[in-house]
Chain A
Amino acid sequence: MLSMIIRRIGQSILVLLIVALVAFSMFRFVGDPVSVMLGQEATETDREMLRERLGLNNSLLVQYGRFVGRALEGDFGVSYRTGESVAAMIADRAPATIELALFSGILATIFGITFGVITAINRKGFFSQFIMTTSLIGVSLPTFLIGVLLIWLFSVELGWLPSFGRSGVTQLGSWWHTSILTLEGIKSLILPAITLGLYQMTLIMRLVRAEMLEVLGQDYIRFARARGLPLRSIYFDHALKNTLVPVITIIGLQFGSIIAFSIITESVFQWPGLGLMFINAIYHVDIPVMSAYLVMVSIIFVAINLIVDILYLFIDPRIRDAANAGASE
């Protein structure tokens, strides 16, 4: 088992190095960093000095090595557009995105599992049919249209919630700010969180429903019924528990999509997070910000994949046995 974990970690590091190579190539070959930083009027000696200072005259391998080394220290250079340090920009905007992603992830998990269990237990009921139909519409709508639809309904027509921005922000310590401590802030969080979490909720719900239906048809559930156990205990302790392995995987893997879709959601709601920063970077061809975002997102994705794989080993004894058998061969 240990050897398998080590092999998975090795693979993850390889993937990260390849992504870093892509990010480095973007940084190095897309546009000329020297002319971007100095502008058109610089003299040849200035250019040469900057080139020397940035180390652009070293061999590419040395430059790549230095890029990876700096990335490990969290140094991604300065933004071409604002001149700010990219690391500082990320640190400044990360809390907004993490808060949004966590909030919508929690919403999606709670409602996804609840609705999944309800629709599995009571398949023919009106409420179940209603949820299943609504979820179908939710999946077919593109994320940005869901956002626009929610803005129209809750901001324009009903006027209950703000349509954009992150308000009521409280500074906690020097590096974290949050919007969940004020009513205003929570209000501004609701619409983006629903937009971001709706798709994930549907996925979790459909998965829980399908798994529950399969488990509920098995003999040990019938036996549990025959023993006269309360329905609550049958549904939650016996059935739901056994559906959790694939559900945990999906929740974990979907966290990556939440990051990707947060780009769209943050743009629709002008939420001042990393996604909005990335879209602006693309629009203004701000290469350092783009490559830093790429590296950051891939670290998150690779880490999630790794954690989910390792969790598998602990949760499901069959996979663990297979891994042990494979190692002893």
Chain B
Amino acid sequence: MIARWLDSDFVYSLLRTPTALISLIICLVLAACALFAPWIAPTDPFDMSSIDLMNGFTPPGVANEFTGEQFFLGSDDQGRDLYSAILYGLRVSLFVGFASVILAMTLGVTLGLLAGYLGGWVDAVIMRIADIQMTFPSILVAMLIYGVARGILPPNARADMAITVLILSIGLSEWVSFARTVRGTTIVEKQKEYITASRLIGLSHLNIMARHILPNVINPILVIGTITLALAIIAEATLSFLGVGAPPTEPSLGTLIRVGQDFLFSGQWWIIFFPAVTLLVLALSFNLLGDWLRDFYNPRLS
């Protein structure tokens, strides 16, 4: 089984494309860092007792002049270890990214299947909504949903629910590309003979959609999913940077960059530099991986 997989075109193409391979490795390493952050990080950035204000503004790799402590990537204004903060921030960024892509994917694939398979007024309604939403840039849609969700929540629940609201707003703003692709493929597949055959042997519509059409639209979904993940990570960072995303109690990379911006003028460059570089590497790797997947599944496009 593994031997067969290693021998596949997929793995062959991956090994032959250095950019894709490197991107994949970076993605996996960063994902592992995020997953095991509590075990890798030297300190817990949220444990107030482990933070010493005297350690504030320690440059990277230099011993603090009062306490003599050293920090790999320096410390922020409150003496928090930046390396640990980035690992935990990566965790929030990746979690929000993955969760919102899964939400967008589930919603988009379901609606796309329904629109393509059922046609008629269902198709018309779903695709009109998609068209209207497409007119607006997704970051604007995400901001609006975020604002409305905040308005519906009682003020004291806003900070606790911020991550959920963030996932909801990014997820709902990105479903259209999934729905459009799935709808297109479904319309093509629907006319093929095996679908007529499935109808003849009496399979239900639900069964046909889920078990016969869905497997045929998986590849484009994977491609769009990877590219959307990069978009979602950037969107999350942007919202958090603007102060309408992850709360200060659960800082993501965007929140760290927002905090770091304040110290740009006073010369503490590392507080913004390292989170920004991490975010860039993360988004770029997923982008390049998505590009390679697209070329692999659809060589005509390249």
From residue 111 to 163 of chain A, which have CB atoms closer than 8 A to chain B?
140-145, 148, 151-152, 155-156, 163
Residues of B within 8 A of A142 (CB): 234, 237-238, 279, 283
Contact (A285, B143) CB under 8 Å given A140-B280, A302-B135:
no
Contact (A279, B135) CB under 8 Å given A142-B238, A145-B276, A263-B140:
no
- 1/0 per residue, CB under 8 A from A, across B142-163: the answer is 0110111011100000000000
Q: A325 CA to B151 CA in the complex, in Å?
A: 50
Residues of B within 8 A of A294 (CB): 144
A60 close to chain B: CB less than 8 A: no
Closest to B240 in A: A144
A31 close to chain B: CB less than 8 A: yes
Q: A152 CA to B265 CA in the complex, in Å?
A: 8
Closest to A144 in B: B241
Q: Which of B135, B265, B283 has the most CB of A within 10 A?
A: B135
- Assign chain B's interface to a size class: 20 to 34
A290 close to chain B: CB less than 8 A: yes
On whether the beta carbons of A285 and B257 are closer than 8 Å, the reply is: no
Contact (A278, B287) CB under 8 Å given A148-B261, A267-B242:
no
On whether the beta carbons of B287 and A279 are closer than 8 Å, the reply is: no
B35 close to chain A: CB less than 8 A: no
On whether the beta carbons of B146 and A282 are closer than 8 Å, the reply is: yes
Expressed in whole angstroms, the minimum distance between the Cβ of B155 and any Cβ of chain A is 8
On whether the beta carbons of A260 and B280 are closer than 8 Å, the reply is: no
A287 close to chain B: CB less than 8 A: yes
- 1/0 per residue, CB under 8 A from A, across B217-251: the answer is 00000000000000000100110011110000000
Q: A278 CA to B141 CA in the complex, in Å?
A: 13
On whether the beta carbons of B283 and A264 are closer than 8 Å, the reply is: no
Q: A18 CA to B152 CA in the complex, in Å?
A: 21
Closest to A149 in B: B276
Contact (A256, B137) CB under 8 Å given A19-B132, A290-B144:
yes
A305 close to chain B: CB less than 8 A: yes
On whether the beta carbons of A297 and B140 are closer than 8 Å, the reply is: yes
On whether the beta carbons of B151 and A144 are closer than 8 Å, the reply is: no
Residues of B within 8 A of A224 (CB): none
Q: A164 CA to B261 CA in the complex, in Å?
A: 12
Expressed in whole angstroms, the minimum distance between the Cβ of A141 and any Cβ of chain B is 7
On whether the beta carbons of A282 and B238 are closer than 8 Å, the reply is: no
B92 close to chain A: CB less than 8 A: no
On whether the beta carbons of B151 and A279 are closer than 8 Å, the reply is: no
- 1/0 per residue, CB under 8 A from B, across A271-296: the answer is 00000001101110101001000100
- Contact partner of A148 (CB less than 8 A), chosen from B150, B152, B276, B284, is B276
Q: A105 CA to B252 CA in the complex, in Å?
A: 32
Q: A263 CA to B264 CA in the complex, in Å?
A: 22
Residues of B within 8 A of A18 (CB): 132
Q: A256 CA to B136 CA in the complex, in Å?
A: 8
Closest to B269 in A: A152
B94 close to chain A: CB less than 8 A: no
B20 close to chain A: CB less than 8 A: no
Q: Which of B147, B242, B261 has the most CB of A within 10 A?
A: B147
On whether the beta carbons of B144 and A264 are closer than 8 Å, the reply is: no
B272 close to chain A: CB less than 8 A: yes
- Contact partner of A285 (CB less than 8 A), chosen from B139, B150, B287, is B150
A30 close to chain B: CB less than 8 A: yes
On whether the beta carbons of A285 and B147 are closer than 8 Å, the reply is: yes
Q: A260 CA to B238 CA in the complex, in Å?
A: 12
On whether the beta carbons of B143 and A145 are closer than 8 Å, the reply is: no
Q: Which of B140, B241, B261, B265 has the most CB of A within 10 A?
A: B140
Residues of B within 8 A of A298 (CB): 135-136
A-B pairs with lowest CB-CB distance, top 9:
A30-B151, A282-B147, A260-B137, A260-B140, A285-B151, A142-B234, A144-B241, A267-B242, A301-B135
Q: Identify the A interface with B (CB < 8 A).
A: 15, 18-19, 26, 30-31, 140-145, 148, 151-152, 155-156, 163, 256-257, 260-261, 263-264, 267, 278-279, 281-283, 285, 287, 290, 294, 297-298, 301-302, 305
Q: 20 A–B contact pairs at CB < 8 A?
A: A31-B151, A140-B280, A140-B283, A142-B238, A144-B238, A145-B257, A145-B279, A148-B257, A148-B276, A155-B265, A156-B264, A156-B265, A163-B265, A263-B140, A264-B139, A281-B147, A282-B146, A287-B151, A290-B147, A298-B136
